[in-house]
């Protein structure tokens, strides 16, 4: 760890040690990260990843923390937090947004500049980077429809690459970045000319609809993946699982697809509850549900 922190200091990268992950995840769950770095540029991301590799320590990427269940015991190694990667610029018909840019904020800024078409995605609690990696979507639209190019860091060669959408193998809530380990630094997003007031009204409407349908307690969104033959919320509802609890983790009374933190839920509570829900659905319908949330 001393080698890691020394390299981060030499690179001028802000960092903290023993950082409670519960403060950086929407579940409000998780022990301490041994070290968390806060790069401000793509080059600092590369230097931070190099520092972890030189110390032979694992490296994880954290955006908005809205799709993560962090372990109670915390994580060793380096967590690279993208919260300061917020720049966004407009070039030749494309918006280039850094990975840490809040997705909803990006869409509103684009609308004020007269561009839209992705209003359905407003309200998704993600960064641009996390949204692209997960191919986030809502109300029938996915962010993959608007991605024209991404800049990634290859953690093996520590070099930057630019990838076209075809190289990302986009599918439902999936991109190849989830397997490759490449770190997304920025994304080029193509939107269409639009009326600003109309786009902002549509975004407000979609956000209200999301809020009306979803629980307010801390969660990581829909816990299980939706598949062609598996709509988890519907199957869990039919199994009568709403309100089921383990410790302070509960299946939401409002939306069965959400596992929520009622007060002081642990990651162990959430995992146990998720496993119980999986068994109930498997026993009744013969369908295996798979988590959409990334379990660290």
Structure tokens at 175: 């991109």
Give the bridge partners for 294, in sequence order. Answer: 68
Does residue 292 have an active-site annotation? yes
First to last CA, the chain: 20
Count the Cβ atoms, other than its own, within 10 Å of residue 256.
Answer: 25
Catalytic residue among 173, 175, 202, 252: 173
For helices 2-11 and 42-54, give the axis angle rounded to 10 degrees. 160
Q: Which residues contact 296 (CB under 8 A, 6 or more apart)?
A: 30, 60, 68, 69, 70, 71, 75
Q: Which of 222, 252, 271, 278 is catalytic?
A: 222
Using alpha carbons only, what angle is made at residue 260 by residues 178 and 34, rounded to the nearest 5 degrees?
55
Question: H or E element: which one contains 85?
Answer: none
Q: Are strands 88-91 and 94-98 parallel, antiparallel or unpaired?
A: antiparallel
Active-site option among 119, 120, 182, 292? 292
Phi, psi torsion values for 286, nearest 5 degrees: 70, 25
Residues 6+ apart with CB under 8 A from 195: 114
Q: How far does CA 127 lie from the centroid of its chain?
A: 7
Residue 173 annotated as catalytic? yes
What is the rounded CA–CA span in Å between residue 175 and residue 271?
A: 24
CA 292 to chain centre: 10
CA distances from residue 191 to 31, 95, 116, 144, 239 in whole angstroms, order as listed: 39, 8, 5, 12, 42
Do 151 and 184 meet the contact criterion of CB atoms below 8 Å apart?
yes
Does 34 participate in catalysis according to the annotation?
no
The catalytic residues are: 173, 222, 292
């Amino acid at each position: 760890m001393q080698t890691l922190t020394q390299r981060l200091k030499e690179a001028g990268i802000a960092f903290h040690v023993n950082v409670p992950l519960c403060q950086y995840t929407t579940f409000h769950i998780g022990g301490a990260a041994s070290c968390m770095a806060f790069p401000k540029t793509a080059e600092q991301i590369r230097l931070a990843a190099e520092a972890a590799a030189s110390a032979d320590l694992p490296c994880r990427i954290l955006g908005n923390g809205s799709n993560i269940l962090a372990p109670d015991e915390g994580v060793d190694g380096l967590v690279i937090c993208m919260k300061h990667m917020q720049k966004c610029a407009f070039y030749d018909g494309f918006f280039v947004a850094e990975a840490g840019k809040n997705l909803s904020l990006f869409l509103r800024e684009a609308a004020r500049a007269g561009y839209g078409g992705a209003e359905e995605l407003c309200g998704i609690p993600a960064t641009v980077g996390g949204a692209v990696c997960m191919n986030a979507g809502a109300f029938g639209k996915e962010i993959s429809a608007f991605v024209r190019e991404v800049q990634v860091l290859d953690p093996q060669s520590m070099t930057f690459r630019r990838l076209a959408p075809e190289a990302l193998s986009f599918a439902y809530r999936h991109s190849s970045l989830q397997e490759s380990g490449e770190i997304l630094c920025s994304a080029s997003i193509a939107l269409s000319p639009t009326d600003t007031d109309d786009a902002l009204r549509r975004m407000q409407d979609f956000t209200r609809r999301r809020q009306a349908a979803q629980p307010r307690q801390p969660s990581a969104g829909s816990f299980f993946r939706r598949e062609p033959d598996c709509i988890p919320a519907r199957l869990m509802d039919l199994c009568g699982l709403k309100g089921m609890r383990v410790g302070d983790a509960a299946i939401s009374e409002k939306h069965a697809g959400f596992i929520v933190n009622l007060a002081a839920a642990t990651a162990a509570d959430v995992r146990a509850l998720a496993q119980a829900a999986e068994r109930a659905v498997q026993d009744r319908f013969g369908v295996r549900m798979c988590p959409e949330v990334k379990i660290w």
